Amino acid sequence: MESSLIIITLNRAPLLRQTLAGLGCQTRALTEIVVVDNGPAAETEAVIASFQSALPVRYVAEPGRGYGRARNRGLREARGEVLYFLDDDCVAAPDWAETLWRTLDSGRADLAGGARMPGPAGLAARLEYLSTDGPVLSPRLAAGAAQHLSTSNLILRREVADKTGAFDETLEMCEDRDFTARARRLGFRLWFEPQARVTHHSSVRRTPQYLRKMRHYGKGTSQYFAHDREELLARVFPRGAVARLLLLPFLAVAGTGYLVARNLPHNPDALWLSPLLFVGQLWWHWGGFEAMRRPA
């Protein structure tokens, strides 16, 4: 059975080089690797060309910006019956493709996602990991059914994509959460497999970058919650911008408590870093307030 790996990228040639180098060590061969360049650049194309003698990699230029648009272009270009997704800043463990394949082949899942481990980085990147991946994608979490999955580390059958439909191109982010949640509502089974591991090489190096990233995540996630009212947090968060602003400190406290609780015991540093996580949550909810004040 043929398999296609879809990677979308934008002006991150050095990170993409690391990602492609890791794919050369896989214990299960991929039939093709489709790299969608979402801001066509000569440097990105040159990196891909340098791997074409070692990997079945193909360059696809997609000038229309947006995660959803780029992933949909990848779906149209991919030829495989089984589809993998991987981010351009993630390096897959040698048994990554094989582990996800076995999970799908076992019959217990129609879509399966794996864990993300933090790459070598400083405090700001660690805060980002504890705020995003640590609670839901840690390799120390138990395997089991999932409510949604991430395209940073994902496998599914082509029929799932055909029946679920395209990624929502109106969403600035969370288009993968929306896609996999829609698949679940159609009756497809989602599974988290922590043994399928990738290492995330964060571009966040300084605290201001971390805070900007939290603000961006808050904006994008709030847009998604406004789009999908079936999500639990969409029902919990205030629906008005003024109420969101007035409750912002309390929401940040609750968010920090959630992060600490979800990271323990596998990431115990979340406890002593909680004051900084709280500042990040303030910015996350400020981004959410901005999204509500100026809806798309």
- Percent of the chain residues topping a pLDDT of 90: 88
pLDDT for the residue 243: 87
Cα–Cα distance for residue pair 225/151, rounded to 1 Å: 19
What is the mean pLDDT of the segment spanning 67-86?
97
Q: Catalogue the long-range contacts made by 57-66 (C-beta closer than 8 Å, 24 or more residues apart).
A: 57/20, 57/32, 57/33, 58/32, 58/33, 58/34, 59/35, 60/34, 60/35, 60/36, 61/37, 62/8, 62/36, 62/37, 62/38, 63/38, 63/39, 64/38, 65/10, 65/38, 65/39, 66/38, 66/169, 66/172
Cα–Cα distance for residue pair 87/15, rounded to 1 Å: 10
pLDDT for the residue 19: 98
What is the mean pLDDT of the segment spanning 37-65?
96
pLDDT for the residue 119: 92
Choose one of 200, 223, 240: the last residue of a domain.
Answer: 200
- Say yes or no: 161 and 260 in one domain: no
* Residue 27 CA: distances (Å) to CA of 23, 93, 99, 156: 9, 9, 9, 19
Distance linking the first and last C-alpha atoms of the chain? 41
The enclosing domain of 73 has a CATH number of 3.90.550.10
> Can you say how many angstroms the Cα of residue 176 is from the centroid of all Cα atoms in its chain?
7
Helix (H) or strand (E) run with residue 83 in it: strand 82-86
Is residue 239 pLDDT above 80, yes or no? Answer: no
Q: Per the structure block, which two tokens stand in for 246?
A: 């007035």
Cα–Cα distance for residue pair 115/137, rounded to 1 Å: 5
* Residue 143 exposed, middle or buried by CB count within 10 Å (0-12, 13-18, 19+): middle
Cα–Cα distance for residue pair 145/189, rounded to 1 Å: 7
- Say yes or no: 66 and 186 in one domain: yes
Q: How confident is the model at residue 8 (pLDDT cuts 50, 70, 90)?
A: very high
What is the mean pLDDT of the segment spanning 71-88?
98
- Say yes or no: 168 and 268 in one domain: no
- Say yes or no: 14 and 129 in one domain: yes
- Say yes or no: 47 and 7 in one domain: yes
Domain that holds residue 112: 3-200
Choose one of 200, 230, 260: the last residue of a domain.
Answer: 200
What is the mean pLDDT of the segment spanning 161-184?
96
Total number of domains in the chain: 2
Choose one of 136, 168, 200: the last residue of a domain.
Answer: 200
pLDDT for the residue 178: 95
Helix (H) or strand (E) run with residue 43 in it: helix 42-51
Cα–Cα distance for residue pair 202/221, rounded to 1 Å: 19
Is residue 7 pLDDT above 70, yes or no? Answer: yes
pLDDT for the residue 295: 55
Is residue 296 pLDDT above 60, yes or no? Answer: no
pLDDT for the residue 130: 97
- Percent of the chain residues topping a pLDDT of 70: 98
pLDDT for the residue 225: 87
Is residue 140 pLDDT above 90, yes or no? Answer: yes
- Say yes or no: 145 and 289 in one domain: no
- Say yes or no: 179 and 277 in one domain: no
pLDDT tens per residue across span 81-124: 999 999 999 999 999 999 999 999 999 999 999 999 999 779 99
